[in-house]
């Protein structure tokens, strides 16, 4: 049973992972206090990181950058080299962890193939503005961030957002700026999310390189076939929501089934929460209908990226016959071909592999007893826009979920469970309310609260008509 297989993951971590993470922690601590005046201890941390990469192609540049910063000289190319070194260490950790997970699951994964070079967006001035602001953050350190420094990013972010080729960078910078703004003055914050902010800073600095980076963009082919949905992972922020659907694609050309993802997203305000989130995505009726009705989707000529992501076009999908996600997982998940991981996505926290877990015993402390170890359930990721609750997970007998690595341990994020309610076996999925809640109590609560999405759209329409 897969539960017993997953128990093998819990027997420690691959060699070298702990040491690599310690080096990253030293870098992140230096970034907290800023690179302008490095103490001897923090300068040593940067030198140690460079030493770990000395035998790699990055070794020379990272070593030079660490030496320059220790001497008090901070230049843009030095920050970029150190960001690349930090990303490379995390990439090595990611590869070791994912290789172990694939071995435990018996999962076959295709290798990454570098896409052909594509013309970079002609916006070097905007990218330069991004790098300048990120450089100021690094020199100042998180502890020195104030409202003035955060506000300095506004003009650049506003100029980036209208550019389709730069929107990913713009949203990333906007999110980082929002988190910093909410924490200002950062000097008074007792505990900082140093790892998270350093991750965002690193990714933004690499994405903002003039001419782009290898692997930063992906070429796409097109595929047709049947998409069998396993579950949906809800990513919610105060100003945006994204539904990331995991499934198995049966290509029409007869090639092996493959694991894929597809995502749809919408901007929002922080007052739109719970089941109302689905109404922001009413422009995708086929996808939402398949989620709510547990149905397959017949797709035609959808772009497929090398990362296994389908670029969703709702008008190229037709809702098909009912499909049981648990039956799909039992019959096809083990043999589905896994996608390669793009270079910039090689980070442990981005591991999110779909699995079916059975034969476990849910315990009172929120873990699953797999018979050879216990796996922690990440109930904090259960979305409020669906019916799946920690109580249902605790009483479940089977679970479709995402295996993740976070905080130095493996976790299981439930997407769907089989459980017993009133002596009947039922399935509960995070996407069951994609067309609206089915729980009468929730329906009544929604009716009392009113339709926030409709109200905000009507007000926005009035403003536009003026």
Looking at the DSSP bridge assignments, the partners of residue 361 are 369
Cα torsion for 163, 164, 166, 168, to the nearest 10°?
130
SS3 content of the chain, % helix, strand, coil (to 5): 45, 25, 30
* Residue 369 phi, psi dihedral angles, 5° rounding: -80, 110
Contacts of 384 (CB under 8 A, 6+ apart): 273, 274, 275
Q: Which of 55, 52, 34 is nearest to 43 (CA)?
A: 34
Helices (H), 106-191: 124-140, 147-151, 154-160, 167-183
Q: Which of 175, 182, 342 is nearest to 267 (CA)?
A: 175
Q: Which of 121, 195, 184 is nearest to 152 (CA)?
A: 184
Predicted pLDDT of residue 214: 47
Predicted pLDDT of residue 417: 96
HSE-up (13 A, CA, CB side) for residue 339:
26
For 81, the enclosing helix (H) or strand (E) is: helix 76-105
- For 236-254, the DSSP string reads E-SSEEEEEEEEEEEETT-
Q: CA–CA separation, 466 vs 464, rounded Å?
A: 6
**How many CB atoms lie under 10 A from the CB of residue 72?**
11
Q: CA–CA separation, 338 vs 289, rounded Å?
A: 26
Q: For helices 40-52 and 17-33, what crossing angle results, to 10°?
A: 140
* Residue 9 phi, psi dihedral angles, 5° rounding: -65, -25
Looking at the DSSP bridge assignments, the partners of residue 402 are 354, 413
Q: CA–CA separation, 68 vs 62, rounded Å?
A: 10
Predicted pLDDT of residue 333: 94
**How many CB atoms lie under 10 A from the CB of residue 17?**
19
CATH for 217-335, options being 2.40.50, 1.10.287, 1.25.40, 2.40.128: 2.40.50
For 283, the enclosing helix (H) or strand (E) is: none
Q: CA–CA separation, 213 vs 157, rounded Å?
A: 20
Q: CA–CA separation, 328 vs 295, rounded Å?
A: 11
Please list the pLDDT of the chain residue by residue as tens digits (466 residues). Answer: 465 577 778 877 889 999 999 999 999 999 999 999 899 999 999 999 999 999 999 999 999 999 999 999 999 999 999 999 999 999 999 999 999 999 999 999 998 887 766 555 557 888 999 999 999 999 999 999 999 999 999 999 999 988 888 888 998 999 999 999 999 999 999 999 999 999 999 999 999 987 655 444 555 789 999 999 999 999 998 778 999 999 999 999 999 999 999 999 998 888 888 999 999 999 999 999 999 999 999 999 999 998 999 999 999 999 999 999 999 999 999 999 999 999 889 999 999 999 999 989 888 778 898 887 889 999 999 999 999 999 999 999 999 999 999 988 999 999 999 998 888 889 999 999 999 988 888 888 777 766 777 766 666 665 555 5
Predicted pLDDT of residue 453: 72
For 354, the enclosing helix (H) or strand (E) is: strand 352-358
Q: For helices 167-183 and 194-207, what crossing angle results, to 10°?
A: 150
Predicted pLDDT of residue 10: 80
What's the pTM? 0.90
Q: How far is CA 428 from CA 112, 253, 378, 393, 433, in A?
A: 35, 33, 17, 9, 10
Number of H helices, E strands in the chain: 15, 13
Q: CA–CA separation, 380 vs 364, rounded Å?
A: 16
How deeply is 111 buried, as exposed, middle or buried, from its count of CB atoms within 10 A (0-12, 13-18, 19+)?
exposed
Looking only at the bridges linking them, the beta strands covering 309-310 and 258-267 are parallel
| Contact of 340 with 109, CB cutoff 8 Å | yes
Predicted pLDDT of residue 215: 46
DSSP summary character for residue 109: B
Domain boundaries, the chain: 8-207, 217-335, 344-429
């Amino acid at each position: 049973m897969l539960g017993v297989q997953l128990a093998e993951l819990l027997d420690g971590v691959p060699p070298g992972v702990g040491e690599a993470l310690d080096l990253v922690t030293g870098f992140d601590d230096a970034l907290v206090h800023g690179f302008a005046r490095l103490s001897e201890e923090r300068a040593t941390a940067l030198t140690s990181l460079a030493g770990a990469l000395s035998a790699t192609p990055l070794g020379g540049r990272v070593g030079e950058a660490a030496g320059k910063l220790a001497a008090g000289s901070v230049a843009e190319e030095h920050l970029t080299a150190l960001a690349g070194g930090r990303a490379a260490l995390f990439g090595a950790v990611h590869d070791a962890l994912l290789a172990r997970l694939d071995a435990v699951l018996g999962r076959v994964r295709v290798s990454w193939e570098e896409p052909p070079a594509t013309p970079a967006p002609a916006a070097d001035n905007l990218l330069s503005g991004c790098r300048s602001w990120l450089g100021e953050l690094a020199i100042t350190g998180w502890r020195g961030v104030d409202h003035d420094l955060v506000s300095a990013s506004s003009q650049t972010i506003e100029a980036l957002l209208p550019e389709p080729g730069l929107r990913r960078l713009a949203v990333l910078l906007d999110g980082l700026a929002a988190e910093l703004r909410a924490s200002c003055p950062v000097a008074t914050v007792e505990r900082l999310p140093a790892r998270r902010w350093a991750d965002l800073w690193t990714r933004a600095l690499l994405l903002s390189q003039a001419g782009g980076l290898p692997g930063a963009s992906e070429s796409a082919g097109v595929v047709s076939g049947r998409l069998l949905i396993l579950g949906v992972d809800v990513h919610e922020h105060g100003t945006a929501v994204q539904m990331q659907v995991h499934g198995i694609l049966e290509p029409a050309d007869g090639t092996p089934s493959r694991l894929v993802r597809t995502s749809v997203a919408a901007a929002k305000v922080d007052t739109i929460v719970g089941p109302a989130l689905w109404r922001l995505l009413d422009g995708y009726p086929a996808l939402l209908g398949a989620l709510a009705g547990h149905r397959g989707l017949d797709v035609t000529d959808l772009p497929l990226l090398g990362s296994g992501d389908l670029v969703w076009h709702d008008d190229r999908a037709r809702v098909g016959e009912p499909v049981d996600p648990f039956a799909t997982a039992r019959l096809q998940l083990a043999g589905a071909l896994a996608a390669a991981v793009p270079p910039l996505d090689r980070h442990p926290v981005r591991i999110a592999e779909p699995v079916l877990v059975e034969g476990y015993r849910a315990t009172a402390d929120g873990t699953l007893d797999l018979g050879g170890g216990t796996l922690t359930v990440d109930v904090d990721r259960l979305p409020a826009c669906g019916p799946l609750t920690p109580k249902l997970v605790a009483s479940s007998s089977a679970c479709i979920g995402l295996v993740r690595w976070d905080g130095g341990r493996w976790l299981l994020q439930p997407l769907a469970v089989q459980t017993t309610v009133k002596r009947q076996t039922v399935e509960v999925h995070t996407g069951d309310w994609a067309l609206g809640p089915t729980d009468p109590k929730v329906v009544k609560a929604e009716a009392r609260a009113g339709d926030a999405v409709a109200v905000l759209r009507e007000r926005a329409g009035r403003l536009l008509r003026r």
